[in-house]
């Protein structure tokens, strides 16, 4: 249930968004602009306080408020600690409910947290067995941030791809295919070798995502396998 002790800034956000939704044409950019302005107005930007507000936003279970919650959580990234992982994992399981929320949360706040504390990777690997598809997708998508930052120490994208290889949900397959695509920009030879070794087993939807960044001649060669 929504909290009865909403902060004035949250109430103002809700008033600003009243009558607006994704269905009425509300754009993510508009929400992010509102999120930035609202965050700057917070007098207390300590992680405990901000995470508490994020929790209240998420309890409303509205897409637009979730976008703000994940944005605010990312803005306090310099204050992350080990305990933040427990909070974020709970959010992933309790409040994320689809691929959009998963990607928004994991390619920013949660990805940054894993980059800071890579030893939580073993916990992430266990997500590949979760009954909810977006948690399984998160196991791959969360690695996109550290891949782009060049901080893959103690992280193993290929293990995640192996664990999700034959998942039964299309969006999970696309998720690890996307991860491999991003990785191919930094480790083109290694990813190509991985794809060559696993082409017969990997579903084509994941395979096609993974090869998108290669030159045309490489894509053609891989597709011909």
Sign for the CA dihedral angle at 48, 4, 62, 34 comes to negative
Helices marked H in 60-132 — which ranges? 63-75, 82-94, 99-106, 109-116, 121-126
Domain ranges within the chain, ordered by starting residue: 1-79, 81-225
Integer Cα distance of 137 and 133 in angstroms: 6
pLDDT band at residue 4 using 50, 70 and 90 as cut-offs: very low
**Phi and psi based region of residue 19 (left: phi greater than 0; alpha: psi -120 to 50; beta: remaining):** left
Yes or no: is domain 81-225 CATH 3.10.20.30? Answer: no
The pair of structure tokens assigned to 73 is: 């959580």
Judge whether residue 120 has pLDDT over 60: yes
As to burial, measured by CB atoms within 10 angstroms (0-12 exposed, 13-18 middle, 19+ buried), residue 215 is: exposed
Contacts of residue 126, defined as CB under 8 A and 6 or more positions apart, other chains included, come to: none
pLDDT at residue 3 is higher than 80: no
With cut-offs at 50, 70 and 90, classify the pLDDT of residue 5: low
Helical (H) or strand (E) element with 182: helix 170-184
For residue range 33-71, what is the model confidence (pLDDT) as tens digits?
Answer: 999 999 999 999 999 999 999 999 999 999 999 999 999
Contact 135, 92 (CB under 8 A): yes
Closest C-alpha to 51, from 76, 81, 82: 76
CB 165 within 8 A of CB 202: yes
Summarize pLDDT for 121-131 with one digit per residue, the tens. Answer: 999 999 999 99
Instruction: Kindly state the DSSP code that residue 44 receives in the 8-state scheme.
Output: -
Q: Rounded to the nearest 10 degrees, what angle do helices 28-40 and 8-16 cross at?
A: 150
pLDDT at 2 over 50: no
Tens digit of each residue's pLDDT (9 = 90 or more) over 121-166 = 999 999 999 999 999 999 999 999 999 999 999 999 999 999 999 9
Residue 19: band (very low, low, confident or very high) from pLDDT cuts 50, 70, 90: confident
What DSSP element (H or E) covers 107?
none
């Amino acid at each position: 249930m929504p909290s009865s002790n909403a902060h004035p800034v949250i109430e103002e956000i809700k008033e600003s968004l009243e009558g607006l939704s994704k269905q009425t044409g509300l754009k993510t950019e508009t929400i992010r602009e509102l999120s930035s302005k609202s965050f700057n107005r917070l007098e207390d930007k300590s992680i405990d306080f901000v995470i508490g507000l994020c929790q209240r936003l998420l309890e409303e279970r509205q897409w637009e408020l979730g976008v703000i919650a994940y944005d605010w959580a990312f803005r306090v990234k310099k204050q992350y600690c080990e305990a933040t992982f427990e909070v974020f994992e709970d959010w992933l399981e309790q409040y994320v409910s689809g691929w959009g929320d998963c990607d928004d949360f994991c390619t920013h706040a949660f990805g940054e947290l894993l980059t800071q504390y890579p030893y939580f990777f073993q916990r992430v690997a266990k997500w590949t067995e979760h009954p909810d598809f977006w948690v399984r997708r998160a196991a791959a998508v969360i690695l996109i941030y550290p891949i782009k930052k060049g901080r893959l120490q103690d992280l193993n994208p290929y293990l995640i791809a192996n664990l999700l290889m034959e998942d039964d949900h299309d969006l999970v397959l696309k998720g690890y295919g996307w991860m491999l695509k991003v990785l191919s920009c930094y480790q083109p030879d290694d990813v190509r070798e991985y794809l060559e070794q696993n082409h017969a087993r990997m579903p084509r939807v994941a395979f096609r995502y993974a090869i998108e960044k290669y030159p045309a001649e490489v894509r053609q060669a891989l597709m011909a396998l």
